[in-house]
Structure 1
């Protein structure tokens, strides 16, 4: 650069002759093309006689340049810290790792905050604001996956981001970053790389149902700068009293749509490794008794249930000398529940002699199992 301009005689005035001005503008254009947006010299630029005006014009283009194709969104990582989780910003331009004051309190890390002996003054991304950092948290366990945990030191910073992972964390050999594919991987406890970046949201507008309480909590926590549009609709609270859902049209439509899933099984239960057996006392006579009287409604319900159980193959006609009467009990929803009275049969069966298991033994086995 210096050699190219050394051959041009410099004048004491601000203006150059036409040929020298054109040559100098061409050299300036070649040099500035490495730093400013490429612009082709036009006839007006070459013909200008004031070299300072041309340099001012190029400098203005350099300051106001815009990279339209550089609209990539930030790279976020989902992490768990203490009692809270958040989307951490991975920032290669940050010289330290930062945690906001609000997230520090939400994660329950207030007792681990320490004060620096020598506070640090930093310059933020806007280039103007400076903050004095005197608080930090050392060796905080950060979980990227259930088996990927790292000890990270954070400076407490008043920022809109919950956590900023800067170069001290990104520079580790255990972290693989691919900005082209927008992926960031960490190594878990088994030495395998695990992707932990949050995928980009779908460009379509997401719609989800929220309550007024959760909406107020979200606005209070995230504090959005603006909300373009918000629909509020009052939803009637459903009656919590027990009802028969079988008559609900929504349940009926759901059962009809997935009839192959909710259809009741038919036939007898397949053979199991353990067979059930009722042991009777010696020299007992099968009990006999009369049936209980039933109303016409109960007889209709009994016939309907017997036909249904016979059709499913769960019961069959039997000529056994043992039998038990049936009766109905009215449920809370006024329906009838079929009951079988086995009192006389139970009086002739041999009771199990084994003791009941101890509750503390059962609880101990459960702890060992889990």
Structure 2
């Protein structure tokens, strides 16, 4: 962002007194930016460097692959973001960082041992780091490169690691940082940045109105291949009806010993709410998702107004939840479910 801000300050021609000349210069400047973005001209000093996308806990970053570094390093800022502060320990003997020219840069007396780093789904390794004040979030040096089989191809810009089954899987290698980057921002966040006069959050901003979406184009696709595909899998796009078929696993609510069916009051509703409730009950009965029941268990319902002023049906299960034995099993990882 700093380089982009400096580029904008130096590249924009000084506005002339003639309004027409100023407009012509501005158009030429925007055209120049557009040409640079289309050709992806990489002017950053980081362009030749090779990174891999890694994840530690909930935090992600681009780790620099550096065969000239003898050890692995993590920055102070990224260490804080990952919440690894409590695992930091002091070294008995500080490590001296020596640059390529032979000059000693500084000594490092803090490190973190055996941090689980995810390089791909089902591909994690325990990596130890020295904490170094650097602009890179993470540097993977020879300590990591020679620890296991990590094929690195600088020509093709590919990095592979082995997953839990011993199979080589590719790491995510981000593209080099362009001198002009394109990001999606929301109008609300941009408005807040402008009000706060947050210079660090802004560089150059070009607003473009998206064309209105024509719903009729999606109803009748012009491409015959799309129409053929939709017809072949028409049942996939139909709304579900009836109860869920029998599955190997049947879920149940396990209650505490001696629990009796809770009793609750019926919440009062307005005429609008009663009509919406009747319509939703009729729809659920028609789909077969609910049925009349004489069970001793029953819970009240109520409505909450949504942002678009529609009514959202809510079911009050609080008394039933108070009698339910909590499931102590851990939730599955999202990446495992998507794999």
After TM superposition, the score normalised by the length of structure 1 is 0.45
TM-score (norm 2): 0.48
Q: Please identify the structure whose Cα radius of gyration is greater.
A: 1
Greater relative CO (CA pairs within 8 A, separation 6+): 2
